[in-house]
Amino acid sequence: MKKTPLHNAHIQLGAKMVNFSNWEMPISYSSVIEEHNAVRNAAGIFDVSHMSIFDFDGGNQVAFFEKIFANDIKKISRDNKAIYGALLNEDGGILDDLIIYHANNKFRLVSNCSTRDQNREWYEKHAVEFGVKVIERSDMGILAIQGPEAMNKILAIKEIDAEANNLESFGCMFDGDRLYAKTGYTGEDGLELIVPNMAIIDLWNQALKVGCVPIGLGARDTLRLEAGLNLYGNDMTINNHPYESNLGWTIDMSDKNRQFIGKDALLAIDQSQSQKMVGIILRDRGILRSGYEIIHEQGKGVVLSGSFSPMLQSSIGLARVDKGYQENGKVFIRNKALNIEFVSPRFIRKVKMQP
Q: Does 256 bind other proteins (CB under 8 A)?
A: no
Residue 258 or 289 having the CB closest to other proteins:
289
Closest distance to other proteins from the beta carbon of 217 (Å): 10
Residues 6+ apart with CB under 8 A from 120: 52, 54, 134, 136
The CB-of-148 to other proteins minimum distance in angstroms stands at 22
3-state secondary structure of 102: strand
- With CB under 8 A as the contact rule, the residue among 3, 20, 33, 75 that binds other proteins is 33
Site for other proteins (CB under 8 A): how many residues? 16
Of 272-311, which residues contact other proteins (CB under 8 A)?
Answer: 285-287, 289, 307-308
Least distance (Å) between residue 218 CB and other proteins: 6
Min CB(313)–other proteins separation in Å:
9
Nearest to 302 by CA among 274, 281, 324, 322: 322
DSSP 171: B
Q: What value does the CA radius of gyration of the chain take, rounded to a whole number of Å?
A: 20
One of 8, 19, 22, 31 touching other proteins (CB under 8 A): 31
- Report 46-85 residues binding other proteins (CB under 8 A): none
Least separation in angstroms between residue 292's CB and other proteins is 11
Phi, psi of 247 (to 5 degrees): -115, 10
- Of 61 and 315, which CB lies nearer to other proteins in the complex structure? 315
Q: In the bound complex, what is the minimum distance in angstroms from residue 34's beta carbon to other proteins?
A: 8
CB of 66 to other proteins, least distance (A): 40
201 binding other proteins? (CB under 8 A): no
Which among 194, 232, 198, 191 has a CA at the least distance from the CA of 212?
A: 191
Pick from 132, 123, 131, 133: nearest CA to 98: 123
- C-beta of 28 vs 49, nearer to other proteins: 28
**CA 87/CA 85 separation, integer angstroms:** 7
Burial class (CB in 10 A: 0-12, 13-18, 19+), 8: exposed
The contacts of residue 73 (CB under 8 Å, 6+ apart) are 62, 65, 66, 83, 100, 102
Site for other proteins in 110-139 (CB under 8 A): none
Q: Which residues pair with 331 in a beta bridge?
A: 294, 338
Binding residues for other proteins, per CB under 8 A?
16, 27-28, 31-33, 218, 222, 285-287, 289, 307-308, 315, 334
